[in-house]
């Protein structure tokens, strides 16, 4: 299944996309949130779709994040060896974890504001994992796989001066408003043959900056879920950003940082495309 949310900010409705056509699910479910996922929501949705008379969403609607505001947005740093190299850092022996403020979540085509006085706003295409049930200290990667609801596309937008020069943990450079465009849908894992082999591409103003594959991840999605669960309770609907490949502005010799009016397009094979302008 391909879960979507649509509508004006603060008034989003849950829906589903079937063969490119969007349908409203708001009469059956309140939202795609922790309560939904924890209550065996995906199975209930699948069962409901066999009987329900859902209506098509017509007209142009804002494509929101495919999940409601999560309890946590957790990110994995340096999870592609080529990105670690361009960042002049060593490939870590264990996943590097940091947080991103949950109010950064934005829709697939929302405009992203550049913070006042910012000089180094960067892009990072990442595979996003959505957690399907509350978990803590899992014993195996099989359990971790079972706990994954599905996958989405994320732009882990970063302000590098805030992140690197302002001291402390990376969260300051990751948490300005709108810095987590997500979508355009949540694709349940049964629709993806091999999440460890998906082509990922990011363009800035139609020029390819990042062109890679999830097969180059240092740590796989299921390993990441198991690992994080050892240190904190993951709740249904939480979002995990799994790291970005090389090609970010931070690693470029010339100035590749984002400016007002720049258009960024991101795509992960079998999941979908984000497209948003920086303002």
Are 17 and 139 within one domain? no
Q: How many CA atoms lie within 13 A of 251 on its CB side?
A: 18
Q: Label the pairing between strands 125-131 and 148-155.
A: antiparallel
Which pLDDT score, from 0 to 100, does residue 107 have? Answer: 98
In a domain, 61, yes or no: no
pLDDT at position 87? 76
Question: Is residue 266 situated within a structural domain?
Answer: yes
- Specify if 164 maps to a domain: yes
Residue 107 lies in a domain: yes
Residues 154 and 78 in one domain: yes
Tell me, yes or no, whether 40 and 81 share the same domain.
no
Nearest C-alpha neighbor of 173 from the set 248, 227, 228 = 248
What is the per-residue DSSP string for 62-106? Answer: -B--SSPPPS-EEEEES-BHHHHHHTT-PPPSS-EEEEE-GGGEE
Do residue 7 and residue 94 come from a single domain?
no
pLDDT digits (tens, 9 = 90+) for 13-63: 999 999 999 999 999 999 999 999 999 999 999 999 988 778 899 887 899
Q: How many domains does the chain fold into?
A: 2
**Would 57 be classed as within a structural domain?**
no
What are the tokens at 26? 């708001």
Distance (Å, whole) CA 40 – CA 231:
25
pLDDT band of 68, cuts 50, 70, 90: very high
Q: Is residue 64, in this structure, part of any structural domain at all?
A: no
* Cβ(38)–Cβ(234) below 8 Å: no
Please give the residue range of the domain that contains residue 158: 73-277
pLDDT band at 278 (very low <50, low <70, confident <90, very high): very high
Q: What percent of the chain has pLDDT over 90?
A: 86
Same domain, residue pair 9 and 134: no
- Beta strand residue intervals within the chain, DSSP E: 2-6, 13-18, 21-24, 73-77, 96-100, 105-106, 121-122, 125-131, 148-155, 158-159, 180-188, 199-204, 207-213, 239-241, 263-268, 272-277
Q: Does 161 lie in the same domain as 115?
A: yes
Measured CA to CA, the distance from residue 237 to residue 134 in angstroms comes to 9
Residue 154 in any domain: the answer is yes
What is the pTM for the complete model shown?
0.96
Does 98 reside within a domain? yes
Q: Within this chain, do residues 151 and 245 fall inside the same structural domain, yes or no?
A: yes
150 and 85 within one domain: yes
Identify the CATH number of the domain in which residue 118 sits: 3.90.850.10
pLDDT tens by residue, 116-152 = 999 999 999 999 999 999 999 999 999 999 999 999 9
Residue 215 DSSP SS3: helix
């Amino acid at each position: 299944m391909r879960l979507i949310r649509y509508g004006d900010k603060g008034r989003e409705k849950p829906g589903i996309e079937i063969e490119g056509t969007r349908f409203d699910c708001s009469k059956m479910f309140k939202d795609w949130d922790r309560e939904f996922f924890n209550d065996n929501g995906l199975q209930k949705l699948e069962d409901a779709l066999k009987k329900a008379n859902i209506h098509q969403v017509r007209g142009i609607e804002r494509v929101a994040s495919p999940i409601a505001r999560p309890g946590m947005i957790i990110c994995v740093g340096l999870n592609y060896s080529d990105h670690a190299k361009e960042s002049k850092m060593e490939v870590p022996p264990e996943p590097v974890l940091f947080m991103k403020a949950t109010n950064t979540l934005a829709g697939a085509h929302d405009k992203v504001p550049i913070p006042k006085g910012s000089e180094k706003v960067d892009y990072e295409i990442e595979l996003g994992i959505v957690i399907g049930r509350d978990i803590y200290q899992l014993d195996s990667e099989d359990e971790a796989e079972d706990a994954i609801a599905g996958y989405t596309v994320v732009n882990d937008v970063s302000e590098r001066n805030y992140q690197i020069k302002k001291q402390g943990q990376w969260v300051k450079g990751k948490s300005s408003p709108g810095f987590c465009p997500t979508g355009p849908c949540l694709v349940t894992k049964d629709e993806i043959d091999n999440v460890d082999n998906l082509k990922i591409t990011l363009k800035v103003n139609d020029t390819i900056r990042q062109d890679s594959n999830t097969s180059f991840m240092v740590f796989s999605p299921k390993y990441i879920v198991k690992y994080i669960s050892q240190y904190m309770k993951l709740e249904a609907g939480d979002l995990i950003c799994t790291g970005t490949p090389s090609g970010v502005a931070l690693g470029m010799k010339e100035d590749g940082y984002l400016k007002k009016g720049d258009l960024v397009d991101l795509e992960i094979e079998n999941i979908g495309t984000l497209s948003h302008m920086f303002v």
